[in-house]
Amino acid sequence: MTKGASEQEIRHALAEVRHPEIARTLVDLGMLKDITVKSNKVALTLALPLMGIPTQVRDYLINSLRQVLAVYGEILNRVVRHQAGSNKTHQAGNSPAVSSGTK
C-alpha cells in the first residue's frame, strides 16, 4: 500500500485487527471507536473492557494498530483508552505520555 490512503481504506484496514486471545476483531468486540484521520496521523479510541487488562495484551493491541497503519504510511498519533469509567490518553510515539482523568 502507499501513502495517501483514503480514510475509508484506513478504517477498513483497522477493522481487520483481531484480539490476540479472542477470535474476533476489535470492531466486532466494540473496542475500536472514534477513528479520526488527518494528514498522515490517526487518532482513535481503544475501549478496553477491563481495568486489569494485561499489559502484554494492551501493548499487543496498540502495536497491531500501529503496524496496520504503517503499511499505509500513517502514524498512530493518539489512542484514548477507556477503562472502567476512566479516560487515559496515550500519545503514540517512542516515549508515550499518559494522562488520566475521569469521564
- List, for residues 81-95, the tens digit of each pLDDT value: 776 555 554 444 433
How many CB atoms are located within 10 Å of the residue 46 CB? 21
Q: What is the mean pLDDT of residues 28-55?
A: 88
Q: What is the mean pLDDT of residues 48-71?
A: 89
The CATH number for 44's domain is 3.30.300.130
Number of domains in the chain: 1
Under 8 Å between Cβ of 79 and 62:
yes
Whole-model pTM: value is: 0.74
Domain presence at residue 1:
no
Give the CA diameter of the chain. Answer: 38
Domain presence at residue 16:
yes
Q: Which structural domain range is residue 96 located in?
A: 7-102
